[in-house]
Amino acid sequence: MGPIIEVKNLQKHFGSIKAVDGISFSVKKGEVFAFLGPNGAGKSTTIKMLTTMLKATAGELRIAGHNPSIDPNGARSNFGIVFQDPSLDDELTAKENLLFHGALYDIKKGLLNERMEKLLKVVELWDRKNDLVKQFSGGMKRRLEIARGLLHHPKILFLDEPTIGLDPQTRHHIWNHILELNKSEGITIFFTTHYMEEAEHVADRVAVIDHGRIITIGTTKELLKRTKKKDLESAFIALTGKGIREEEGSFIQNMRLRRRVMRR
């Protein structure tokens, strides 16, 4: 069987800026794959292309055999995603959010109820299923989003910085759930993170991307050997340099900031 995610010479240009500049990699079924890079390296742009949110400028893409630009719905029904920014409906209960997801993915009612109970128990939100999402903490929302992302039994789960802003306990907890599902269901996990020890701990393979290109790809051990470092964080800095990346003060960044302030 071929790889479940296949990317060949993928490019995305925004005007003259090459956000993703010809990357190639593949992910095997059941693998836990970490996609690392400094701010503005092209991580999110790549995930957006993989998940049909952005159209590639050039290159080839396959998600479970489907080409997202030709058959977006074929690709969409094969992955689940947890976005960097929450995308739950705060005015609905946990259960209603999942019911809506079930309707979007056309899951039969009996099956939906069965999976819903199982997943909500896995992420330990079964007791809270009838509570409004706006009463949930950040960690609870993340757990609910993971449950939602898995509801249609996807082959791949994309996680875009799934543990950002969470305390170590919650992070630990969430990763346990994800890895359990990876083992029991064979779901392929593709995630981005800024926490190097997290990637070192859970990922089978790691890709490091910078300036829209993949610098290196391999297991953590291989990366440490190549860079002659003791941990992934030093290896990462050795690979991408010490300079702090100035991300443009984009609209999204500003809004994200403002939203956090407003929540306080």
Partner 1 sequence: MIGSLGQPLLFLLALGFGFGPIFQKAGGGDYLQFLTPGIISMGILFTSTFTGIEVIWDKQFGFLKETLVAPVSRFAIMFGRTLGGATIAMAQGGIILLLSMIFGFRPMSILMMLPAILVMGLVAIIFTALGTAMASRMEDMHGFQLIVNFLIMPIFFMSGALFPLEGLPSAVITITKLNPLAYGVDALRFFLIGTSHFGILLDLSVLMILSFVFMALGSYLFSKMEA
Any contact of residue 167 with partner 1 (CB under 8 A)?
A: no
Any contact of residue 231 with partner 1 (CB under 8 A)?
A: no
In the bound state with partner 1, the residue whose beta carbon lies nearer, of 101 and 115, is 101
Neighbours of 230 (CB within 10 A): 9
The interface mask with partner 1, positions 175-214, x = CB under 8 A, is ----------------------------------------
Residues near 15 by beta carbon (within 8 Å), at least 6 away in sequence: none
Q: Tell me the DSSP string of 182-244.
A: HHHH--EEEEE-S-HHHHHHH-SEEEEEETTEEEEEE-HHHHHHHHT-SSHHHHHHHHH-SPP
Ranges within 42-71 binding partner 1 (CB under 8 A)? 48, 51-55
Any contact of residue 105 with partner 1 (CB under 8 A)?
A: yes
Neighbours of 159 (CB within 10 A): 26
Considering only 34, 64, 81, 189, the residue that binds partner 1 (CB under 8 A) is 81
Plot region of 48 (φ>0 → left; ψ -120 to 50 → alpha; else → beta): alpha
> Considering the complex, what minimum distance in angstroms separates the CB of residue 256 from partner 1?
8
> Considering the complex, what minimum distance in angstroms separates the CB of residue 102 from partner 1?
11
CA 1: distance to chain centroid?
24
Any contact of residue 253 with partner 1 (CB under 8 A)?
A: no
Any contact of residue 98 with partner 1 (CB under 8 A)?
A: no
Q: Please count the residues of the chain.
A: 264
> Considering the complex, what minimum distance in angstroms separates the CB of residue 18 from partner 1?
16
Size of the site for partner 1 (CB under 8 A): 30
Q: In what helix (H) or strand (E) does residue 70 lie, and over which residues does it extend?
A: none
Any contact of residue 252 with partner 1 (CB under 8 A)?
A: yes
Plot region of 66 (φ>0 → left; ψ -120 to 50 → alpha; else → beta): beta
Any contact of residue 83 with partner 1 (CB under 8 A)?
A: yes
Angle (CA) 129 133 136, round 5°: 95
In the bound state with partner 1, the residue whose beta carbon lies nearer, of 12 and 205, is 12
Q: What residue ranges bind partner 1 (CB under 8 A)?
A: 48, 51-55, 72-74, 76-77, 79, 81, 83, 85-89, 101, 104-106, 148, 250-252, 255-256, 259
